[in-house]
Structure 1
């Protein structure tokens, strides 16, 4: 039988470790694993258990807190699969037990993080499926509203608005998935460049790909196999390119509006 007092103390320790500065990730993982083992021993998790009072609900609340911290730990470890596994368990607590357990203060944060990760992985259809499951009253929450607004920017091709959002995340745990989203969007824009142009000047490409320096641009170009020639990037495509720098600058932003993959996929869904 699980020791509720001991479990409660372990959850408090885990919370302090995960939320603190420079957490020891290995120790946090060990504590999460120990907690999961102890929680399974609680009679409230056995078949046929009755949850008819506050004491019988306590192990469920502690389990929910454990998986919430485990989800946060997965982000710190950059473990996407682990994050999804923890969120899958949390959905049972948030939705299936919503009439039994008191609301969790972390629910909207977890929901928003999953939505953001789905955007970062270009899973637009899954994003909308998950969004439909979210109660209407939660969609105006500051955390949940953030990925919803990002998806709107992507659909509209508002690339500048999207880029500005990365500096205004509502909570620090959004940072990792936001970086992944920036990479995904950059790669989609790069694919569009390869299809649309023979070549681009360094300034045009750097501005379009939102890279901070020429060094970053050159490294990114080499990673994609682009040819660098006298401050010009050549894509080696058998299409008629735009040669005039001014035309290229204008076409860059028109192309963003037309060809962001997110908007194309969303149209197919609708």
Structure 2
């Protein structure tokens, strides 16, 4: 039977260490398995437990594979199938679906990454307070949502170092890209000039080489100033100040120092 053969091959490949898996093989096997699931005739020779196990494994592997390859659009469809499958088996305990908390946590991460906060809170209400507090798969997205509300963006960066699963990484990176874009927009509106070192810190990059690619994509103009190093000039603020006269000048030195102070304090707290 084609389905059982594809299924066994898929499970065998997926059971390997993450680094040893062949992504192309897994992708092809998933496509073949899902195609076979649409044929009702193949289940006539399988009992209910076998059917449940096959569906569960294929749906879960598909969602995890999409998260691992950062295929966010495909993940949206895959995770919906997984969650619907869980809902269709309400009487099954945690031992039947040991990956359920991981997949639920990934779904919460996805909702944060696409900024669907109403759906995030709606799904969170369906999860017990105990799981929210004590299960790392669930508590991580809960904490990240709190960090976003507090503006404690550097804590999100630090969270990347202690994720409960490597499958969370794609969503953390999407969140950080969104956060950095928002910080960059605020920088462009608030500062006349900013050093490369301070910009690297404010945008939560580990070093200036990582920040350089970001600055180039934003088309930030850099000048090298003696004794000050590399400085970025922001024409939006300069043009705004010139248009209203010399009376309104931003104290960029004070704002920079204050922002950096808060960032450093948050790092000390963590």
Per the normalisation by structure 1, the TM-score is: 0.79
Match of 1:91 in 2: 83
User: What secondary structure sits across from 1:225 in the alignment?
Assistant: coil
User: What secondary structure sits across from 1:98 in the alignment?
Assistant: coil
Higher relative contact order (CA 8 A, sep 6+): 1
Q: How far apart, CA to CA, are the structure 1 residues paired with 2:125 and 2:42?
A: 31
Residues 14 and 21 in structure 2, CA contact (< 8 A), matched pair in contact too: no
Q: How far apart, CA to CA, are the structure 2 residues paired with 1:21 and 1:251?
A: 40
* Structure 1 pair 20–219 and aligned structure 2 pair: CA distance change class (3 A): closer
User: What secondary structure sits across from 2:194 in the alignment?
Assistant: strand
Shift of 1:150: 0.9
Residues 10 and 35 in structure 1, CA contact (< 8 A), matched pair in contact too: no
Give 1:12-27 correspondences, 5 Å limit: 12-16=11-15, 19-27=17-25
Match of 2:30 in 1: 32
Residues 191 and 250 in structure 2, CA contact (< 8 A), matched pair in contact too: yes
- Alpha-carbon RMSD: 2.9
Per the normalisation by structure 2, the TM-score is: 0.79
* Structure 1 pair 250–98 and aligned structure 2 pair: CA distance change class (3 A): same
* Structure 1 pair 80–24 and aligned structure 2 pair: CA distance change class (3 A): same
Match of 2:8 in 1: 9
* Structure 1 pair 23–235 and aligned structure 2 pair: CA distance change class (3 A): same
Give 1:128-147 correspondences, 5 Å limit: 128-139=121-132, 140-147=134-141
Q: How far apart, CA to CA, are the structure 1 residues paired with 2:68 and 2:9?
A: 19
Match of 1:75 in 2: 67
Long gaps (5+) in structure 2: 225-229, 242-248, 264-270
Long gaps (5+) in structure 1: 47-53, 256-270
Shift of 1:116: 1.4
Q: Deviations over 1:136-187 (max 9, x none)?
A: 4542321111111111111112233222111111112212222222212111
